[in-house]
Structure 1
Amino acid sequence: MNGGVGWVLSEEVIDLTRGPSGLGFNIVGGMDQQYIANDSGIYVSRIKGDGAAALDGRLQEGDKILAINGRDLKNLLHKDAVELFRNAGCDVSLKVQHRLQPQNGPAGHRGDGEPDGIPLAVILVPVLAIAVVTVWAFVRYRQRM
């Protein structure tokens, strides 16, 4: 029995230059506001469309930020992490952990309970509804004969 989906994790250093709207992303997490149970890490919650992160394209919502300008983000309160980002300067180096496709399971499975592509129910429900209506119409037609 599998205890959970094993995700492929990859790390990357992303250098951003602060723009008019800052770095262009929001963060969640910290020791006092865990985003994921038993994980006090700092995560990207939102990428702003016109910000430095969106223009760069590598940082994604859900990425875990491990360090900023070489400063480890482990065991920080959320407000302390926010202050580090605010005071990081114009050129910012982020060490980021991306969570990629699962290691086990079918190749087309994302690991979050839904297969890639169109869910089976989207196809199956209308087909079954049409079949039921067709059978009902046929039975009504035969009763009138």
Structure 2
Amino acid sequence: MNGGDYLASDEEIHLKRGPSGLGFNIVGGTDQQYICNDSGIYVSRIKDDGAAALDGRLQEGDKIIAVNGQVLKNLLHSDVVDLFRKAGEDVRLNVQHKVQTQQNGPLGHKGDGEPGGLSLSTILVPLLLAGAAATVWLIMKYRHRH
């Protein structure tokens, strides 16, 4: 997830398992951290026409806090997958949405295991401005001496 400042909002979402399951993919767990120093479980992809897409509230990047009341904390990725498989037909998710407040770069993560970071422009623009200011200062200093 690149760029922006995020504020979290919590919601409880009830999904009914469809022919293709719940209709989303997850990333994360103690063995596959999606975000550095965070072993939480995140939605990496919403499948078209799946239960989650038809409901419309679950979004890519949301953190799943609990499934049917069981908190997803300090679990291996495979244990969470098993928990989802055994969750039954009616599944209650406690979700923490990410609400973007400022756009710095492209959003989106399809579960490739590489979380985003700062955009290149966030790093380069201040460096270029500092370099330009230093150059102007050196030119002015050199002109006053000669």
Instruction: Please report the TM-score for the alignment, with normalisation by the length of structure 1.
Output: 0.68
2:97 matched to which residue of 1?
98
2:28 matched to which residue of 1?
29
1:7 matched to 2:6: yes
Distance across 2 between alignment mates of 1:13 and 1:7:
19
Letter in 2 for 1:94: L
1:88 matched to 2:87: yes
Larger Rg: 1
Q: Number of aligned pairs?
A: 105
Distance across 1 between alignment mates of 2:45 and 2:18:
16
Distance across 2 between alignment mates of 1:113 and 1:17:
31
Check the 8 A contact 2:4/2:103 in 1, yes or no.
no
2:44 matched to which residue of 1?
45
Distance across 2 between alignment mates of 1:96 and 1:110:
22
Q: Which runs of 5+ in 1 are unaligned?
A: 103-108, 115-145
State the percentage of identical aligned residues: 70
- Which structure carries more relative contact order (alpha carbon 8 Å, separation 6+)? 2
Shift of 1:101: 2.4
Instruction: Please report the TM-score for the alignment, with normalisation by the length of structure 2.
Output: 0.68
Distance across 2 between alignment mates of 1:112 and 1:26:
23
Shift of 1:57: 0.2
Q: Which runs of 5+ in 2 are unaligned?
A: 108-146
2:77 matched to which residue of 1?
78
Distance across 2 between alignment mates of 1:76 and 1:26:
16
